[in-house]
Chains A and B, each alone.
Chain A
Amino acid sequence: MTDDLKAFEVVDERKGSSRSEGVRSLRADAWHDLRRNPLFWISAALIVLFVVMAIAPGLFTNTSPRETVLSEARTPPSSENWFGRDVQGYDLYARCIYGARASILVGVFAAAGTAIIGTIFGLLAGYASGATDAVVGRVAEIFFALPLILGAVVILTALPPSDEYFVIVFKVVLVFWILGWPTIFRLMRSSVMQVRPNDYVQAARALGGSPWRIVTSHILPNAIAPVIVVSTINLGVYISAEATLSFLGIGLQPPTISWGVMISDALVAMRSAPHVLLFPAAFLSLAVLAFIMLGDAVRDAFDPKSR
């Protein structure tokens, strides 16, 4: 009896191992590919670094980003101030570290929010189809007609100015939600429509699964991959767009510390003190780059066509 059981276990083990080498699920396969991609590790490391910077800037520096030494304004990098001081005499290194929070907050909330709104409406339109699809589709088309920066300019000039840190950040995030969800919606809708005719969905329906169950446990997990990829790339795009809006004077504004605000302040002094521009621009670009590279790496891993 016990021997029999043992024999079973052995067989089971073999089965398990042969499964992991031979036929892998799409997700396991993608992870297998990702692990071998150096770009994935570089971008993941950068993202972890920036997120830690955003949560706990105190780990990286003891200098206050709001402490100004006017007499030392525009001094180039030295052993005391690693990145030098900016136009107002602030320590650039400290400000670059503290600036991560606003940019990462905007990027994460904007990307997560558009992903959630777009996914919900995409599931609704793609699964329900018919009249619901037509209505949601028409509404999305209207929002889709407003290009990101143009739309943001209009909405942000209309919203009342504010001094609260979170209100300032939230306004920019809100604008990205309003203008960004149709992209995700379109993606999700077409992805759902590809998944819906599959046999396992038909089987679940034949077995009497409720629409809620079919959508959440069969359609959503199989249709979400493109949304995750595009949202990751968009996270970088939103960080960059925030900087552009801050440059135009309608995104984040001082006293908020963000890379975008720092860069637009630095442009005035570019000719005499280029390092004031260099460091925040480098931080911003690295963050944007990290998210775009991560999205690309995940896409390559999930997309069988690219192999």
Chain B
Amino acid sequence: MFKFTVRRLLQMIPVIIGATFLIYWMVFSLPGDPTAGKCGDRPCPDAYVAQFEEEYNLNDPLLVQYGKYMAGVVQGDFGESYYGVPVSEELSERFVVTAKLGLMALGIEAVIGILAGVLAALKKGGFIDNVVLVSTLAVIALPLFVTASVLQLYLGIRWELFPVTVGSDTSFYALLLPAFVLASVSLAYLARLMRTNLSENLGSDYVRTARAKGLPQSRVVGVHTLRNSLIPVVTFLGYDLGALMGGTIVIEGIFNIPGVGNYIYRAINDRDGVVVVGAVTALILVYLFANLVVDLLYGLLDPRISHD
């Protein structure tokens, strides 16, 4: 297990360097003006452009630029927003809210997704199976921002069951509807994944053996099959965190939740490139570390992996 952990950690380093370099390179070296939109509709004055280039070392060779940028990131410096506020300052305030929203969504996704998948797989072709299949397809086909807006209109404005927007009150109740919408698409994928896995495993030899021993259904499914079917689900949850983060940009924008997603949403509208790059880089770093944790967890769930 120790060797596995160390190897996984070492593999992580080139990925982090590569991914951040890729972002940096695409944003600052591709055709396009990094100061575009900073001075309204007019092009920026030369003095401002010179100052901007100086501040972000745009006159250095690419690798030196990137090195200086990463040296900043390691020290928690993600640049400054259009208004002169350090991105890291905003991020540290907003991150708590996004983490809360994300964890709630992840919880909803895991519980409902797994439950729906299990119920569907237990009676393949039955009523619940068909309901799960049809409803998950419908959820996947609708873009997140449509689901969010429609639910906001009906549950928030018309029927007044939930607060319309969240604002400064980030209580559990206020975040419930946004978290549910955020989880919806991933939940649908998860339910389908769980259904396929479980129904495949239910046909395997060890299940037949367990049945032949006379074990009750609850033990065959609950202990033998469920645990094996959960392994791919854990991987999916880690990978899916990236989709959830993308979703927070939309959801926090629509429900006005003061998190990182909202910050990116506004920065896109203000065309504030530095904020977008800084905040997205921070999110991707979190995403990569979360996946590292998932991989290590995976080693615990499935002993075969850590012993090769």
Indicate if the CB atoms of A146 and B146 lie closer than 8 Å: no
- Chain B hits for A270, CB < 8 A: 149-150, 153
Interface size counted on chain A using CB atoms at 8 A: 46
- Chain A hits for B250, CB < 8 A: 244, 247-248
A286 and B142 alpha carbons, distance in the complex (Å): 9
Partner of B146, one of A154, A248, A281: A281
Interface segment, one of B85-93, B171-179, B210-218, B280-288:
B280-288
Q: Which of B117-175 contact A (CB under 8 A)?
A: 137-138, 140-146, 149-150, 153, 157
Partner of A271, one of B157, B253, B283: B157
| Chain B, interface residues (CB within 8 Å), range | 35 or more
Indicate if the CB atoms of A157 and B273 lie closer than 8 Å: yes
Whether, in the assembled complex, B271 has its beta carbon less than 8 Å from a beta carbon of chain A, the answer is: yes
Indicate if the CB atoms of B23 and A159 lie closer than 8 Å: no
Q: Which of B223-264 contact A (CB under 8 A)?
A: 242-243, 245-247, 249-250, 253, 264
Partner of B19, one of A145, A149, A260: A145
Interface segment, one of A57-65, A86-94, A135-143, A203-211:
A135-143
A263 and B36 alpha carbons, distance in the complex (Å): 27
Instruction: Digitize B14-36: 1 where CB-to-A-CB distance is under 8 Å, 0 elsewhere.
Output: 11101100110011101111101
Indicate if the CB atoms of A142 and B200 lie closer than 8 Å: no
Partner of B284, one of A146, A247, A285: A146
A149 and B276 alpha carbons, distance in the complex (Å): 12
Indicate if the CB atoms of A159 and B271 lie closer than 8 Å: no
Whether, in the assembled complex, A220 has its beta carbon less than 8 Å from a beta carbon of chain B, the answer is: no
By DSSP majority rule, is chain B's interface helix, strand, loop, or mixed?
A: helix
Indicate if the CB atoms of A142 and B19 lie closer than 8 Å: yes
Indicate if the CB atoms of A284 and B246 lie closer than 8 Å: no
A154 and B267 alpha carbons, distance in the complex (Å): 11
Instruction: Digitize B49-78: 1 where CB-to-A-CB distance is under 8 Å, 0 elsewhere.
Output: 000000000000000000000000000000
Partner of B141, one of A147, A250, A292: A292
- Chain A hits for B276, CB < 8 A: 153-154, 157
Whether, in the assembled complex, A236 has its beta carbon less than 8 Å from a beta carbon of chain B, the answer is: yes
Indicate if the CB atoms of B288 and A145 lie closer than 8 Å: yes
Indicate if the CB atoms of A288 and B141 lie closer than 8 Å: yes
- Chain A hits for B14, CB < 8 A: 138, 141-142
Whether, in the assembled complex, B277 has its beta carbon less than 8 Å from a beta carbon of chain A, the answer is: yes
Indicate if the CB atoms of A281 and B283 lie closer than 8 Å: no
Indicate if the CB atoms of B277 and A154 lie closer than 8 Å: yes
Contact A263 B143, CB 8 Å, known A145-B288, A158-B32, A293-B137: yes
Q: Which of A271-307 contact B (CB under 8 A)?
A: 271, 274, 277, 281, 284-286, 288-289, 292-293, 305-306
Q: Which of A103-157 contact B (CB under 8 A)?
A: 138-139, 141-143, 145-151, 153-155, 157
- Chain A hits for B96, CB < 8 A: none
Indicate if the CB atoms of A277 and B137 lie closer than 8 Å: no
Indicate if the CB atoms of B137 and A289 lie closer than 8 Å: yes
Indicate if the CB atoms of B142 and A285 lie closer than 8 Å: yes
Indicate if the CB atoms of A145 and B137 lie closer than 8 Å: no
Whether, in the assembled complex, A231 has its beta carbon less than 8 Å from a beta carbon of chain B, the answer is: no
Whether, in the assembled complex, A45 has its beta carbon less than 8 Å from a beta carbon of chain B, the answer is: no
Whether, in the assembled complex, B1 has its beta carbon less than 8 Å from a beta carbon of chain A, the answer is: no
A249 and B272 alpha carbons, distance in the complex (Å): 13
Whether, in the assembled complex, B300 has its beta carbon less than 8 Å from a beta carbon of chain A, the answer is: no
Indicate if the CB atoms of A289 and B243 lie closer than 8 Å: no
Whether, in the assembled complex, A243 has its beta carbon less than 8 Å from a beta carbon of chain B, the answer is: yes
A236 and B245 alpha carbons, distance in the complex (Å): 20
Whether, in the assembled complex, B9 has its beta carbon less than 8 Å from a beta carbon of chain A, the answer is: no
Whether, in the assembled complex, A264 has its beta carbon less than 8 Å from a beta carbon of chain B, the answer is: yes
Indicate if the CB atoms of B268 and A288 lie closer than 8 Å: no
Contact A150 B22, CB 8 Å, known A160-B32, A248-B268: no
Q: Which residue of B lies closest to A149 (CB)?
A: B246
Contact A248 B26, CB 8 Å, known A145-B288, A147-B245, A149-B249: no
Q: List 25 A-B contacts (CB under 8 A).
A: A138-B14, A145-B15, A145-B288, A146-B19, A146-B22, A146-B23, A146-B284, A148-B246, A149-B247, A150-B249, A150-B287, A151-B280, A157-B27, A157-B276, A160-B33, A161-B36, A240-B141, A244-B143, A244-B246, A244-B250, A250-B268, A264-B145, A271-B157, A284-B143, A305-B200
Using A148-B243, A306-B196 as known contacts, list a sample of 18 further A-B pairs with CB atoms less than 8 Å apart, ordered by residue number in A.
Answer: A138-B18, A141-B15, A142-B19, A145-B18, A149-B245, A150-B287, A153-B249, A153-B276, A157-B276, A158-B26, A160-B32, A160-B36, A240-B143, A244-B246, A247-B145, A271-B157, A285-B141, A293-B137
Give me the interface of A with B, judged by CB distance under 8 Å.
138-139, 141-143, 145-151, 153-155, 157-161, 236, 240, 243-244, 247-250, 260, 263-264, 267, 270-271, 274, 277, 281, 284-286, 288-289, 292-293, 305-306
7 closest A-B pairs by beta carbon, nearest first, are: A149-B246, A147-B242, A142-B18, A160-B32, A145-B19, A289-B141, A158-B27
